[in-house]
Amino acid sequence: MSAATPDPKSAASPIIEVWTKDEFVENVLEAESPVVVDFWAAWCQPCVHLAPIFIALAEAHPEVRFVKVDADRARPIAEAVGIKSLPTIGFYFNGRLEDVFIGARSRPQLEKRIVALKDKAAGKGFFQRLLGR
């Protein structure tokens, strides 16, 4: 990892790094909580820019699982999921891909989608969110 990219494997990191298809299945597809997956690569400048935002979001939303997949070093996962561009952020719930953002996004854009994913996990529909219930 470059100096600009915090190490998601550090003990204090709330982010899980996966390297194999089995780890992806266990940590993403079989997860009981909502999952946000960052497909990235070290050479990708927008990915490097996104890294501290992803860490901050993981710290702000401990009830959501945050996962990073290095699309170069874990190419079989990226190919199996159909990743064509980086960064790609996948939003998963109950083993299903609920949404995907391709390209760099702002923290508010990501935060809005994460909150919607959490609401879905909590059983809140559109009207409950609208009414603040």
Choosing from 37, 47, 77, 83, which is the catalytic residue?
47
The three-state secondary structure class of 88 is strand
Choosing from 44, 56, 115, 116, which is the catalytic residue?
44
56: annotated active-site residue: no
Q: Are strands 15-17 and 88-93 parallel, antiparallel or unpaired?
A: unpaired
Separation CA 66–CA 7 (nearest Å): 14
Tell me the C-alpha to C-alpha distance, in Å, between residue 90 and each of 4, 10, 74, 132: 23, 23, 16, 26
44: annotated active-site residue: yes
Nearest to 112 by CA among 99, 96, 103: 99
Catalytic residues: 44, 47
